[in-house]
Structure 1
C-alpha cells in the first residue's frame, strides 16, 4: 500500500490538473506570510493607535483645508474680543446638565499662514474666525472659536487660541503652550470661504505640517496583543496550507490504489463451477 504513495508526483499532478485549488492555496500562503511580516514589523516599530479617530494632526489638517477671508468692506479696525489666556480653562454652564463643558486652549501648532494680498503683511497678524464642528470634520454642529496669531520671526509655527466643547478636542496629546505675546494684537474677523475670493478680499491660507509627537501611538501592551493575534492567525493559515498539501499528495495515491484493485479483479481467472 505504501509503495503507491508518491508525494512529489502526486502534488505535481494536482497542480497541473487543479488550477483553482492551487490559486486558493497560494492566496492562503501569501496571506499567512503577510501576517508574519506584519507581526515582525509591529514588534520592532511603534505604531499609531487606529482607535484614535482624531488627534491634533487630524484637526490641523482639517483646518488647513479652509481659506479664511476678510469681508470686502471690512478693515483692520473691525476687531473681536480676545480669548482667555490660560492654557486650559474649562467652564461648565450653571444649572444646566445638557450644555457640555467648554475648553479654552492657547497652543503653539505647526501651522503656516500665507496671504493672497501682495501688500499684505503677516507681521503682527491675528485672525479670528467662528467655525462649525462639521467644517473641521469633528461631527456635530457646535460652534468653534479660533484665533490664529502669527509668531514673530517664525513662518512654521502659529499661535492657535481655540474655544470649543471639550468632547470635540483631542486632549490626549497637546501641543506646547504658546508663549505670551508681548504685543497686544487685536484680531481681525474672517470667515471660511470655499469659493474663489474677489480682488478686494484679503484671504489667508493655512498649511499644516504633520508632527509625529502629536500622534497617539499604541502602548507596549497593545502592540504585544496585536503581534500575538497576527501570529495566531498566521499559524492557523499555515496549518490549513499543510492540510491542503497532504490532501494533494494523497489524492492520486488513493486513485492509483483503486485503479490497481480494479485491474486485479479483472485479471482474476474465471473458475468453472
Structure 2
C-alpha cells in the first residue's frame, strides 16, 4: 500500500523504466493538443473545401507553368490568322445549349476575365491587337482525362487577361466562374503557339504567364460544414486526452517493481533467523 501513496515517486520510476510507453504517451498528448489548435483555427478561419478536386485557380496555376512559344520553321500563314470576335460571341451564345444535360459529351465555351498576365520575351511582344491560340491536354492542366482543351488569350491589362476556353463539359470547373470578359468590337490577329515547359531557344518568340491566386475562385467550406469539422476535431481531442489521463493515472499509481523487490529483500533481512 505504501507504493500507491507515493504518486510522484511511482511516476518517476515508471518514466525511467518504460521509455517506449512514455514516448507513446507524449505522442498522444501532442496529437491531442494539435487537434485542439487545428479546431480553434478552423473555427476562426474560412477553409477551402478539400472535396473539390478542381477549381479555376488550379486550372490557371497549371496553365501558368507553361510558356507559349511560336513554332519554329512555320510559315506566316500557319501562324497568323484573322479571328473575328463574332465567333467568340457565337461561342458564348452556344454555351447555354451545350450545358444542357441531354448532351453529356458536349463542348463548353467560356469567355472569362482571369488573373493572368501575359509577358512577352521582348518589349514588342505584347498582346495589343494580338491573341495567342493553343491547345493542351487535360492531363497537362491537372484535369482528369486526355481530351484536348482549346484556349485563346486575348488582350487585357497588366493583371488580367481575357481567356476563351473550349473543352468537354465535364473537364472544366462549373462553380465560382471568373467574371465574363467584355469582347472588343475590333478584329484581332491570332498567333498559333505551342505550350512548353522547356527552356526556349534564343530565336523563339515566347510568352510567359504570371498567375495571381484569386480567393474568390476557390470553393470554401460552408458554415455548417466548418462546424461539423470543428466538432469532430474536438471529439477526437477529448478521446485522446482521456487516454492520456488514464495512462498518467495508471503510471502514478503503479508501484515500481524495483522498489517492491527492494522492500521484499529488506523484509527478508529483517526476519529473525530460525535457530537450528
- Report TM bin, short chain: 0.7 to 0.9
| Residue in structure 1 matched with residue 43 of structure 2 by the alignment | 43
Contact 1:91 1:101 in 2 (8 A): no
**Structure 2 residue 212 is the aligned partner of structure 1 residue 209:** yes
Q: Deviations over 1:151-193 (max 9, x none)?
A: 2xx2100000101111111111100110121322132211113
Partner of 2:124: 119
Q: Deviations over 1:102-145 (max 9, x none)?
A: 11000000000011134323322211112211121112111111
Larger CA deviation: 74-83 vs 19-28: 74-83
1:129 to 134, 139, 150: 134
Distance 1:27 1:3, change over 3 A: closer
Structure 2 CA distance for partners of 1:128 and 1:168, relative to 1, 3 Å: same
Alpha carbons of structure 1 residues 237 and 106: separation in structure 2 relative to 1, 3 Å: same
Q: C-alpha separation between the residues in 2 aligned to 1:263 and 1:87?
A: 97
The equivalences for 1:129-168 within 5 A come to: 129-151=134-156, 154-168=157-171
Shift of 1:229: 0.8
Task: Please name the residue that 2:80 is paired with.
Answer: 78
Give 1:232 shift.
Answer: 0.8
- Structure 2 unaligned regions, length at least 5: none
- Deviation at 1:55? 0.7
Cα displacement (A) at 1:201: 2.6
Aligned mate of 2:95, from 89, 99, 109: 89
Secondary structure in 1 aligned to 2:110? strand
Deviation of the 1:204 alpha carbon = 1.1
**Distance in 1 separating the partners of 2:39 and 2:4:** 41
Q: How many residues align?
A: 267
Contact 1:69 1:191 survives alignment (8 Å)? yes
> Where does the alignment leave 5 or more consecutive residues of structure 1 unmatched?
none
Q: Distance in 1 between matches of 2:210 and 2:75?
A: 24
**Runs of 4+ in structure 1 over 4 Å off:** 90-93, 253-272
The question of 1:7 aligning with 2:7 is answered yes
Q: Deviations over 1:16-73 (max 9, x none)?
A: 2222222111111111000000011101110001111211110000111111112233
Query: What is the TM-score when the length of structure 1 is the normalising length?
Result: 0.86
- Cα distance between partner residues in 1 of 2:273 and 2:81: 115
- Matched with 2:228 is 225
Question: What's 1:247 paired with?
Answer: 250
CA distance in 1, matches of 2:136, 2:56: 17
Map Cα deviations across residues 185-218 of structure 1 (whole Å, 9 max, x no partner): 1322111133333344321111111001111100
Identify which of 198, 211, 224 aligns with 2:201. Answer: 198
Q: CA, structure 1 residues 108+92, in 2 after alignment: closer, same or farther (shift >3 Å)?
A: closer
Q: Distance in 2 between matches of 1:182 and 1:102?
A: 25
